[in-house]
Structure formats: C-alpha cells, structure tokens
Amino acid sequence: MNTGVPATLHDGRSSRPKAVRLWFAGDGTLSVEAGDGTQARVFHRSQVRVESRLGDAPRFVRLPADERCEVTDNDALDAALKTWSAPGFSAWLHRVEQSWRLVFASVVVLLVLGWAAFVYGVPWGAKHAAFMVPGAMLNTLGDETLAAFDKTIFEPSALEPERLRELREKVSEFLSAAGERDDYRIEFRASKRMGANAFALPSGVIVVTDDLVKLAEHDDEILGVVAHECGHVRHRHILRSVLQNSALVIVATLVTGDVSSTAALGGAIPGLLLQSKFSREFETESDDYAIDLMKRAGLSTKPLAAMLERLEASHRPKSPDAGKDEDDGGVLDYIGSHPPTRERVQAIREADGDTR
C-alpha cells in the first residue's frame, strides 16, 4: 500500500520543521501533505527539483519560495520517482556508486582522459597558443634572453671582423637563394661553457659560437646548422616547449585570446636552452625545414649531416662509457637540446640521395 514518502518540511519562515508526506502522482504533480491534516499543497514537476542521491545521505526535494523537504528514506523516494519522472543523472550516479566495477571503470576512464590530455591536448594547446603571440612580444623575449646570456655565459666573439662579415654575407645569400624571409639576425659569441653550439631565440636571433665556426670544415656546414635553427624559429619550438610546462597559461591564452601572460614565461627560456632537450618531433620538423631550405638554395644536405656528427663527437664525454646511449638521443647533446641521433643523420643523408 502506498503511504507516501515521509519527509521534514523546512519552509524558510519558521525555525520549527514540520513532518509531511510527499505524494508523487503519475500525472507529474507532487502533493505535500501536512501531518496536522491541513489541505495538501500541489506542485507541478516543473516547480520541483529533487537532489541527486549520494549513498544514504539525506537529500532535499526543493519547492518554490525556498521551501525544501528533507528525505531520509532514499529507497522510498527512488521508488516514488520511478512513476513520476524518467530516470536521469541521479539514478545513473547512484548505480555507479553502488557498483565497484563501474567505479573502477570510471577511474580508468578518467586516468585515460587525463593521460590523453597531457600527451596530446597540452602540446596541441601549446602550439596554437605559441602562434597567437605577436612579433613584438617575440622580439622582447628574444632580446631579454640574449641580454641574460651576455651577462652570464657569453663573451664577445673573438673571430676576425672580416671573418664575421664573410659569414653574415654567406648566411644572407643562402637565405635569399632559398627564398626565405629575411627577418633573422645572426649573432656570434664566444662561450667556454657552451663550446661548439648554436641556438635560435623566439625573435629570430640565431646565435653561433666561435667554437662551432672553428669546428666546421666547410662553411656549408655552418649554413646547414643555421637552416636547422630557422626551423626551430618558424615552428616556434622554444615557445611551445615553455608553454607545454605551463598548462594554465595555455588555457588562459586559448580561452581569452590574451597573450600577455605569455610574457611572464620569458624567464624560463634561458633554462630551457641550457638544460632541456627538444622532443624528437621538434628535431624532425627542424631537420625537414633545413633540408627544404638547403635544397631550395641548391646546396647538398650532406654538410649538415657531417656537422651534426662532428658536434656530437665534440661533446661526447671522454670516458669508457661514452657512446653507450648514442642511439637514445646523443650524449652531452648539441646545446643540450639537439640530440643528433644516427636516425636523424641517416635521414638527412638520404634526402640528398646518400644511402650510406
């Protein structure tokens, strides 16, 4: 026999709760019957909100004018709701809560979604956020980074002015022959800490150390390294790498379109260049870009492959274990961010028809 659902009414006007019974009719109405025998009040389903069930915790049936009925018999309420409204989120949530299999499956799904967001979502967001940053801000980030290096690990180049002029002219002619934009700036620096290295800043400044120039057996090898750095600039790899470690900035940039928060990440660029490695994807993109530039300029890609091998050899530790991890990204890599693996060198040689 249906006796209604016992509840306690809190009307918001009196501090004293009242015992009532709730009658859920099949026509979508709810009758609230007071225990003192007064006339029942009737509400339509659209005026009522039933809270979701969470275990055996009491829940409220909310009425207009901030009135609410507290129900402790959840099973009776669920039974009444079956004929009153279609099962919704509340019923589903309760079923999940009562089944360890569904709870376990839900945890697995959340872990997979979190992993996918980290592995795929963050890089995707970083890429799009990086390309939203205007050129003026990139110039500021580049200038600040170079100034920081000049105060710490760089010294003015010791190469002869005539040699520097010759190299700048060759780089300019190479980029022009390849049809590349002319918004790069080549800088030469001496650095005992870096040795033979080169890197690109977000603004398009490409820094080449004196030791790298001395290590090269032919100027085309230097041009190949410059071409590779152009790839890092065009794909905004440095900014993307910094952003990938700052998911909150990515979200803010993509949602609001405001890139001002990106400027705060400029201080992370020097550390990135000195300590971390670009991903294999970034290196492949830059290699491909360099190959395309060199081919457009009518140059062979072999000098770039030879230079990468020589750079790796120059940074290899002089120890019995040297070379053990050569296939896993290089040892003491070229500026800590350019692991010249055998696979990369092979791909660059093959682009020139060399299958060695």
Q: Which residue type occupies 300?
A: S
Q: Which residue is it, tokens 């009135």?
A: 67
In the predicted model, is pLDDT for residue 172 greater than 80? yes
Same domain, 40 and 189: no
Does an H or E element contain 205, and which? strand 205-209
Instruction: Judge whether residue 154 has pLDDT over 70.
Output: yes
Looking at the structure, do residues 9 and 151 belong to the same domain, yes or no? no
Express each pLDDT in 236-246 by its tens digit.
988 888 777 66
Choose one of 87, 103, 124: the last residue of a domain: 87
Of 207 and 15, the one with more pLDDT: 207
pLDDT band of residue 355 (cuts 50, 70, 90) is low
Give a yes or no: residue 113 inside a domain: no
Is 313 in the same domain as 180?
yes
Regarding whether 223 and 81 lie in a shared domain, the answer is no
- Among 79-83, 195-199, 258-262, 351-355, top mean pLDDT goes to 195-199
In this prediction, residues 90-94 reach a mean pLDDT of 54
- Would you say residue 151 lies in a domain? yes
Q: How far is CA 324 from CA 54, 316, 321, 329, in A?
A: 57, 10, 6, 11
The answer on 221 and 137 residing in a single domain is: yes
Q: Which two tokens stand for residue 182?
A: 């002319």
Q: Which of 113-117, 177-181, 327-331, 345-349 has the lowest mean pLDDT?
A: 327-331
Residues 191 and 248 in one domain: yes
Tell me, yes or no, whether 191 and 329 share the same domain: yes
For the domain that residue 37 is a member of, what is the CATH number?
2.30.29.30
Q: Do residues 18 and 34 make contact, with C-beta atoms less than 8 angstroms apart?
A: yes
Query: For 142-164, what is the mean pLDDT?
Result: 93
d(CA 4, CA 80): 8
**Mean pLDDT estimate for the chain:** 79
DSSP state of 258: -
The number of domains in the chain is 2
Task: State the average pLDDT over residues 148-173.
Answer: 95
Range in 162-166, 203-207, 311-315, 322-326 the model is least confident about: 322-326
Given a cut of 80, whether residue 300 has pLDDT beyond it is yes
Listed residue (122, 124, 118, 134) closest to 262, CA to CA: 134
Q: Is residue 324 part of a domain?
A: yes
Q: What percent of the chain lies above the pLDDT cut of 70?
A: 73
The domain of 40 spans: 5-87
Query: What is the mean pLDDT of the segment spanning 294-302?
Result: 95
Helix (H) or strand (E) holding 198: strand 198-200
Structure tokens at 51: 């809270």
**Are residues 183 and 292 both part of a single domain?**
yes
Residue 323: pLDDT above 50? no
pLDDT of residue 136: 81
Q: How confident is the model at residue 89 (pLDDT cuts 50, 70, 90)?
A: very low
> How crowded is residue 2: how many other Cβ atoms within 10 Å of its Cβ?
10
Confidence at residue 270, expressed as pLDDT on a 0 to 100 scale: 59
Q: Is residue 125 in some structural domain?
A: no
Do 156 and 41 lie in one domain? The reply is no
**Does pTM surpass 0.85?**
no
What's the whole-number mean pLDDT along residues 314-326? 54
Which of 34, 69, 87 is at the close of a domain?
Answer: 87
Closest CA to 238 of 329, 150, 312, 127: 127
Average pLDDT for residues 160-171, to the nearest whole number?
A: 97
Give the pLDDT score at 60.
94
